[in-house]
Structure 1
Amino acid sequence: MSGLQDRVAIVTGGGQGLGLGIARALAMDGTNLVLTGRTEAKLRNAQNTLEALGVRVLVVPGDTRRRADAENAVALAIEHFGRIDALVNNAQSSTPGVPLEDVTDENWRETLESGLYGTLYFMQAVLPHMKRQQGGRIVNFASRTGIEGTQGFAPYAAAKEGIRGLSRVAAREWGAHGVTINVVCPAALTPSADAYLEANPTERARYLSEIAVGRFGDPEKDIGRVVAFLCSESAGYVTGQTINVDGGQSML
């Protein structure tokens, strides 16, 4: 038993790609879901897919760059389900492949606000409810681009390293309330990642050559299963950690 049955998780950016894969993995364990994202049509499609797995799904369109949208999603989750057991901060916008010297204010703001700021907004919004429950799980997302300093990813790397620092502070401050916070660095072949690698075939070959197990990860079966564990009762003694789920692309 994973300890997820009848629990409730919020997944930001849950209408597609990695977020949808994670939502599917949580649904397979019986977790009811709150999906947020900017495109309602994608969220509704995801809702139909996930409800077919036997869980309840609440769709709350919104933009992680706005604190009010995070607070609204959390308030509606409480109104609908009465509790929030897990938060998965997956949403992130970025413009890859831009040299640092060419990064614009727009690039910078969109990337940091959607990822770092959005992560903060949702964490702060769920905390009072998790404190009242005396427990909760938060899973945030970072990237090897920040850890290793990948060229062409300056705003993304900065946002992801900011999320790692934020997560460690929260883990220390919120542990007494039974709230754990961990970070996953994934390597999965999502539609957006596939589009980037299709446009940069030499990068595809290089990335694949670096992965020890010799394949790209699957959003549900590889990344989602690890997130589901971190959201479960079994992970109550794991907090403040960065976990690379990348087939051995990065080894610390």
Structure 2
Amino acid sequence: MKRLSNKVAIITGGGQGVGLGIAQAFADEGASIVLTGRTPDKLAAVVPDLEARGAKVAIHPADARSRADANKVVEFTVETFGGIDILVNNAQSTIPGLSFKDYGDEEIASTVESGLYGTIYHMQAVWPHMAKRGGGSIINFGSRQGIVAPAGYSVYGATKEAIRGLSRVAAREMGPDGIRVNVINPSAMSPAALKWLSDFPEEAASNLLEVSLRRWGDANKDIGPVAVFLATDESQYVSGQTINVDGGMVML
């Protein structure tokens, strides 16, 4: 039996990048997966690959910033697969390189609502369903930008640190229901990362020198296995923790 056989996972922002890499890793381990995102075509395009890897897959277009959408995703998942065991809160918008003084209301809202609000909405929505099944695993996402505080990532870094703080408190409150909450701080190639490489080549070259392993991460091969570990009973006594998966950029 595969490690995630008979497990049901929701992955927000699952059509590309880190979300897709984790979906591929989950599929390899036999999970049933609901992918969400704002672009239906992106979600539909990755389904054949995930099914070929061994997953049962359903898609539900949704905006992570909407509580109503989060509730609908959870209801859809329960109706489709009978319950929820794993939540991966990957969805996040960002504007790389934008100076703090230039953030307007629209930019602030886009960043905070997609990351922090979306994480809150989905966690609240899955809680009773996970509790009913005797527990579950929630995987949230922070970022090195929230820890090392590089210029140009003020609201994004603040959002990611807020998610880390939320995750620690949620781990305490949800723990009695058997629900574990952990955070991954990832570094991996994605469409957004590739655009950053193109738009800010000098910053990218400098950052690569900070990676002890001197290579960029792979969403499936590097981030995916850590997410699988956190999703399985192999990490049954791990909760409230942040794991940096960044090739040795941040060492705590």
Q: Is TM (by shorter chain) over 0.5?
A: yes
Indicate the residue corresponding to 2:200 in structure 1: 200
Indicate the residue corresponding to 1:158 in structure 2: 158
Contact 2:2 2:30 in 1 (8 A): no
1:142 and 2:126 equivalent? no
1:226 and 2:226 equivalent? yes
Indicate the residue corresponding to 1:213 in structure 2: 213
1:115 and 2:118 equivalent? no
User: CA offsets per residue over residues 109-154 of structure 1, 9 Å max, x none?
Assistant: 0000000000000000000001111110000000010111121011
Contact 1:111 1:155 in 2 (8 A): yes
Indicate the residue corresponding to 1:94 in structure 2: 94
Indicate the residue corresponding to 2:63 in structure 1: 63
Contact 1:185 1:244 in 2 (8 A): yes
Indicate the residue corresponding to 2:177 in structure 1: 177
Normalised to the residue count of structure 1, the TM-score between the two structures is: 0.98
**1:2: how far off?**
6.3
Indicate the residue corresponding to 1:74 in structure 2: 74
1:29 and 2:22 equivalent? no
State the AA in 2 paired with 1:87.
Answer: L
Contact 1:21 1:220 in 2 (8 A): yes
Normalised to the residue count of structure 2, the TM-score between the two structures is: 0.98
User: CA offsets per residue over residues 146-194 of structure 1, 9 Å max, x none?
Assistant: 1111210111111101100100000011111110000000010112101
User: The residue matched to 1:70 in structure 2 has which SS?
Assistant: helix
Contact 1:2 1:233 in 2 (8 A): no
User: The residue matched to 2:181 in structure 1 has which SS?
Assistant: strand
Indicate the residue corresponding to 1:48 in structure 2: 48
**1:3: how far off?**
3.3
User: The residue matched to 1:3 in structure 2 has which SS?
Assistant: coil
Contact 1:2 1:229 in 2 (8 A): no
| Alpha-carbon separation, structure 2, partners of 1:250 and 1:122 | 28
Indicate the residue corresponding to 2:103 in structure 1: 103
| Alpha-carbon separation, structure 2, partners of 1:51 and 1:25 | 12
| Alpha-carbon separation, structure 1, partners of 2:12 and 2:150 | 25
Contact 2:29 2:54 in 1 (8 A): no
User: The residue matched to 1:59 in structure 2 has which SS?
Assistant: strand
| Alpha-carbon separation, structure 2, partners of 1:3 and 1:137 | 14
**1:201: how far off?**
1.1
Tell me how large the CA RMSD over aligned residues is: 0.9
Aligned identity (percent) is: 54
After the TM superposition, which parts of structure 1 deviate over 3 Å for at least 4 consecutive aligned residues? none
Indicate the residue corresponding to 1:18 in structure 2: 18
